[in-house]
Structure 1
Amino acid sequence: METQSRIAYISTYPPRECGLATFTRDLARAVLMRGHVDRNVVVAIEDDANRNNNTSRTIDQHSRRSYVSAANFLNESDIDVVSLQHEFGIFGGEWGEYVLDFCRNIKGPLVTTFHTVLRNPPEKARQIVREICQISSAVVVTIESAAKILEKHFGVNVDKIVVIHHGASLPDRLRRDYAKRALGLRNHTVLATFGLISAGKGIEYAIKSLPYLVKERPDLLYLVIGETHPEVRKHEGEAYREKLTSLARRLGVDRNVLFVNRYLREEELSLYLQAVDVYVAPYLGKEQVSSGTLTLALGHGKAVIATPTIFAKEILREKRGLFCKFANARSIAECVNRILGHSKLRQELEGNAFKYGQEVGWARVADQYGDLFRSAMRVRGTLTETATVSEA
């Protein structure tokens, strides 16, 4: 990108704990480190209970005035491009409609990344997505299937849609034995699922698969890595995690399940992933079109078992993983046995996953975003005008 370029990211952001916050931090850091921008500005979406001290400005998730104020702030700044990270649940109003107050008032090029794309959403959600796409200079999705949904179900011009992989932090080298020793897992065959825990992860079905596995593999240990999602904890407490621990005890596999109940730093998470023999993603949301956890597991060269979500069906092509049935413990167990019982298959899956990881490392993804931001600047110019819509 040309010198003195500046990008503003609109998203949740650490220390807020959610996958989108992590994605935006990693993207912004990678784009800057690759030399595509001179400076990043982050405008963090925050709820009433969480104020961000790591960003240039915040948007109060539930205040329409705050969205307009943020747009005016950027219009009066030296920002060249705005990168909007869109997820329905982080914005205020019905289906996150308050984000439109920001989009309608921003004056320069807007590049929107959609992390959820629904084939048959309620009409309100459809209208919001369509308007964001109309205002945006370009829209980004992480897989081709999501691009086709935007084109077919939302009428978005295909020339405006860009597919860029999710992005993953890659280890310098893969060291399974070292990682197992470091974590005290040397004598275990390790399965794992990681991420912020919620019912949509389908973890109970992985736990239910263990009785089919541990008779022949008593050393097997299933790691559930990550704390309960803050939004889930706010409304439901630890009910889901307690349900999982009770289930493991009832099935007699509590010694084969280890909950790592905390939000791991990037380096520690990488160490855990390197120790994993088989990664399990038994997610229940069939329409999922983006997953940082699954992308990161592949980036670490893991043999993966996943339910056939839209996202998984696309990125696990070319023998990068096996599919288990939705909400089916026996199917998960069959896949685990197939991988652990056939070394050639496991090596093939791991090799293909590692190759895919080289395509989705943050350096390559940052270069693609950098090119896109540069293109958006050429088309729309910079944010030099002041917004004319009032903040009322």
Structure 2
Amino acid sequence: MTETNWQLVADGLGHLYAGPAAEQYAIASELAFPLAPGTPTPVAAALLRAHLAKPLRLREHPPIDEPEYDYLALVASETDLHVPVLEEIGSRDLLDAWLEVAWARRTVQHLERLRPEVGDIAVTVRRRKPEEDRYGQISSISLNGRMNFRGGLGRRAWPHTVKHLAKVGDADHGELLARAREEVAAENRYPERVTNRELALLDKWKVPRRSSLADWRALQEALDSATEERPMQVVLENHPALLANLITGNHGVWVRPQVRLGDQYVSDFLIASQTSAGMRWHLVELECPTARLTNVGNQRESPTLRHAIEQIQDWREWLKTNLLATREKIPGITIDARGLIIMGREDGTDSAREIRDRRSVNDRIEVRTYDWLLRAARRADSMAWGLLDEETGDLEQDW
């Protein structure tokens, strides 16, 4: 379990060295066993176990050696905790109890020093490279006092290892936050892999089937009368299978409409598919079905197509600096997510094959028409793979 309030964690740890619990006093009284009032709770438990070891035939604990005791003495000295001498402790069970108390006291003292809150940036020493600092943005605090950092991957630190804590609003918070996010991205070797908990965040957008005749008919009718982008957005929101069947997803496909990226951008759709390799995301930009892909005469990219390409490039740039926070809502997304632009109709005077191929290879952006989307819907039942995956897998397709 975790907490977001450091004081609650500190209070819970403080009970460990506040004295014996009421139940321990009751047991000691029944056994006529003297239990000093200031005895820490874990130590009281170890003393009671030692007292009952023979009658209850409990496991005997091996004796301790000097290095073990020296470590306890070192941790205890950091918090002015008085511990018995080596000979008085005797067993490893009792030493472990005193060590638990020493760790708790040290953790509480440093929690009180730092007063960490969610969003703060902790600067710690890198374990394997002590000459380098490590940066982590606090997401929660475990009940044992260890601070957990955003990004998973076992990123966490004990309070006593923190050299500096940048609070939200401090002058250096923004710079250190950027470093923390860079570290997470660099350490995550498999960003496409997601947990079941993360997948659960996408449940409402999961598409359970391939596109049907009804989906195709709805798209055809919208396309026959649409003179702007909005009707196409609406029909695809109402019939997400039209987009879902474009992508191969052996373990599921999800279609999210109108996804906000910060305060500046909104993608028309995000499509995700899960295979054994993990999640793959596609950034989808819709344009008007009457728009041209190329300019009349020179066959270069039309202003509308250039705008759509720039939109996807802007989204990727935004992801570069906001990737960690974005993955909390869009698990598995990467900064190089493939782009898909759907615009215009097929027209012999508007051939953009060279443009499409160049953008696919150089920018990982696919450019397709609404007629192509119709064809994908018609052949959905017979497709083992998504049409877009077939085409980007070096299989020749007409469009």
Range of TM-score over shorter length? under 0.3
- Greater relative contact order, per chain length (Cα 8 Å cut-off, separation 6+): 1
